[in-house]
Amino acid sequence: MAISAAAVANRWTQRRRRAQELREAWPFSAEVLGFYGALLDAQEAAWSQARMDVPAPADVISYTRVRVLPAIFEATVRSGPSKLVQSLLERYEVADFESIAKAWLDGNELLPVERYIARAAVSPVLEALGTAAGALGSGPRGGRHCPSCGGRPQLSYFAASSEELLTPQRYLECERCATSWPYTRMTCAACGESRSMQLAVFTEEGVAQAGRGARVVRRQPAAADLGSEAAAPEPGSARFAHMRIDGCRSCSTYVLTVDLGGNGRAVPVVDELAALPLDLYAKEQGLRKITPNLMGF
């Protein structure tokens, strides 16, 4: 699918706009989104520069260290949550960046602070390179992995459908390079489980799911789950009306799914980052996210 440069550039504007919107609408996510907004400026600048420089895949990590890392580091120290900043200053050595970034691209285990810095700095470069970045990551391609770089799905979303009766296509979006690819609807994005008895969909109470073919487990999050002073939503006015948790009992993982048909203003990567109460709820159910997002949730 060809994507015009203007449409791609617009992604950053969309992310910034949505982060601002949700920051006001979802007070529990204000800190995360305030920081994300500051980081977006550094990431967009890195993306624009990389679009001009077009580093060769073999040079991406060293390029990122020299051209991108300083600004990402600076934005994080200036605007990041104190715990992250403290870890960054105490536990992370800039000299280790290249080996950390390589480990991240290979899908190896990393400390949260290492995963954060690798991802925050390398992903805008991968996004700028598009399919050319595909040569970088290791591991399988396609299906439950990004067809371009082999990354795992950060999130899932349903495209808005122009025809009411048409079932919207489901997509997964890559944790590393933001590529999206089509994926079967009621199938675990981590292990491929498709037996409905093993799959659990959680939505906020009051969200209609009729006709979507999902086995729905509804529950109103208790005030304690919300992690904020925000008032509990009125019936029918769920804050996460366009979101759900897609859980799998076979591999005990979950992914958050954003329904763009349910909210045309949503930007999946931003909404996923901000829906902290859904993450808390999924964890209470004994599920872990397929891969933590940029902010570690």
How does DSSP assign 104-128, residue by residue?
HHTT----HHHHHHHHHHHHHHHHH
If the CB atoms of residues 23 and 173 are measured against Zn ion, the closer one turns out to be 173
If the CB atoms of residues 114 and 246 are measured against Zn ion, the closer one turns out to be 246
Smallest distance from the beta carbon of 116 to Zn ion, in angstroms? 18
Smallest distance from the beta carbon of 252 to Zn ion, in angstroms? 8
Residues near 93 by beta carbon (within 8 Å), at least 6 away in sequence: none
If the CB atoms of residues 176 and 239 are measured against Zn ion, the closer one turns out to be 176
Site residues, Zn ion (CB under 5 A)? 146, 148-149, 151, 174, 176-177, 179, 188, 190-191, 193, 248, 250-251
Separation between Cα atoms, residue 47 and residue 72, nearest integer Å? 12
Smallest distance from the beta carbon of 194 to Zn ion, in angstroms? 9
Smallest distance from the beta carbon of 224 to Zn ion, in angstroms? 28
Q: Number of C-alpha atoms within 13 angstroms, CB side, residue 177?
A: 24
Count of CB atoms within 10 A of residue 244's CB? 27
How does DSSP assign 7-35, residue by residue?
HHHHHHHHHHHHHHHHHHH-GGGHHHHHH
Asked if 67 and 53 touch (Cβ cutoff 8 Å), the reply is: yes
If the CB atoms of residues 27 and 292 are measured against Zn ion, the closer one turns out to be 292
If the CB atoms of residues 178 and 238 are measured against Zn ion, the closer one turns out to be 178
CA angle 223, 228, 231 (to 5 degrees): 60
**H-only helix segments in 163-243:** 223-226
**H-only helix segments in 26-96:** 30-53, 60-67, 69-79, 82-91
Residue 191 is encoded by which pair of tokens?
């292990």
Smallest distance from the beta carbon of 176 to Zn ion, in angstroms? 5
Smallest distance from the beta carbon of 57 to Zn ion, in angstroms? 13
If the CB atoms of residues 197 and 210 are measured against Zn ion, the closer one turns out to be 197
Separation between Cα atoms, residue 237 and residue 240, nearest integer Å? 9
If the CB atoms of residues 88 and 155 are measured against Zn ion, the closer one turns out to be 155
Smallest distance from the beta carbon of 149 to Zn ion, in angstroms? 3
If the CB atoms of residues 246 and 279 are measured against Zn ion, the closer one turns out to be 246
Asked if 81 and 113 touch (Cβ cutoff 8 Å), the reply is: no
Crossing angle of helices 30-53 and 5-25, in 10° steps, is 170
Smallest distance from the beta carbon of 207 to Zn ion, in angstroms? 23
